[in-house]
Amino acid sequence: MVIHSLFPDLATAGLAIGWAPLEDLQGTLDPDEWDGHCQRSTLPPTRIHRRSALVKVLADTLELSAQPLRRASDRSPLWPADRRGSLSHCTALCAAAVGRHDAVQSIGIDIEKIGRIEPKLWPTLFSENERAYFDSLNPERLAAETTVFFSAKEAFYKCQYPLTQSWVGFQDVEVTRIDDCTLGIAPPNLPPQPCHGPSIHTARLDDTHVATIMLMPI
């Protein structure tokens, strides 16, 4: 089972990040973990199984004990007390990040297939400033950039939720491009909060997939 490194510049002795094709992930699903998922998830058993396999491999690299990853009533993952984490999947790929509790306060990771964000969705997902930026792009870059911005908002939501327990809509935050690998995020009409401080990092996994991650430091 080969796990590909993801965001290697961010990885530390207390943080492991990786991705893999779902079909390549194998392992044994803890019965307690399955019991916690089956009542609250619409995912098929094989998909839950394979996502859990990636999380376990990353936890092993940090020498964290094997513990089931359960799911709360709001469907968010219940990470064991000694770690923080985030996971994401699309049709073909899965990405995850696991960090020791003393290395990172919260993590949000997201993986997306390029091209799924159609223009008809823009008014729901993006602010006027974001849409104006998209209008300045050539068609070749447009599909990738709209996917990255959508993914960044997903990563932000996953990172902030364990800290705030607050729902955040797509229009409640605005993404800006900082450079080729990083983005900023802030509320368009309110003062920024601490959860808006960290940059969001982005990477291209292959010709058709992108990933984003946000880390909230201790």
pLDDT the model gives residue 190: 87
CATH, domain 4-104, list 3.40.1000, 3.90.1200, 2.20.28, 3.90.470: 3.90.470
Q: State yes or no: pLDDT of 3 exceeds 70.
A: yes
Could you give the residue ranges of the DSSP H alpha helices within 7-105? 31-38, 45-61
Q: State yes or no: pLDDT of 38 exceeds 60.
A: no
- Summarize pLDDT for 131-163 with one digit per residue, the tens: 999 999 998 899 999 999 999 999 999 999 999
Which tokens sit at 213?
A: 């991650």
Domain coordinates in residue numbering, the chain: 4-104, 114-203
Q: Say whether 196 sits in a helix, a strand or coil.
A: helix
Q: State yes or no: pLDDT of 34 exceeds 60.
A: no
pLDDT the model gives residue 140: 84
pLDDT the model gives residue 28: 62
Q: State yes or no: pLDDT of 204 exceeds 90.
A: yes
Residue 15, C-beta contacts closer than 8 angstroms, at least 6 positions apart: 62, 97, 98, 99, 100, 103, 104, 215
The arithmetic mean of pLDDT across residues 205-212, rounded, is 95
pLDDT the model gives residue 124: 96
Q: State yes or no: pLDDT of 37 exceeds 60.
A: no
pTM of the shown model:
0.91
- Summarize pLDDT for 93-118 with one digit per residue, the tens: 999 999 999 999 999 999 999 999 99
pLDDT the model gives residue 29: 60
Mean pLDDT over all residues of the chain?
A: 90
Q: Do 107 and 213 contact (CB within 8 A), yes or no?
A: yes
- Summarize pLDDT for 40-89 with one digit per residue, the tens: 455 555 556 677 889 999 999 999 998 888 888 787 888 999 999 999 99
What is the secondary structure of 128-171 as a DSSP string?
Answer: HHHHHHHHTS-HHHHHHHHHHHHHHHHHHHHHHHHHH-----GG
- Summarize pLDDT for 12-21 with one digit per residue, the tens: 999 999 999 9
pLDDT band (50, 70, 90) for residue 24: confident
pLDDT the model gives residue 67: 87
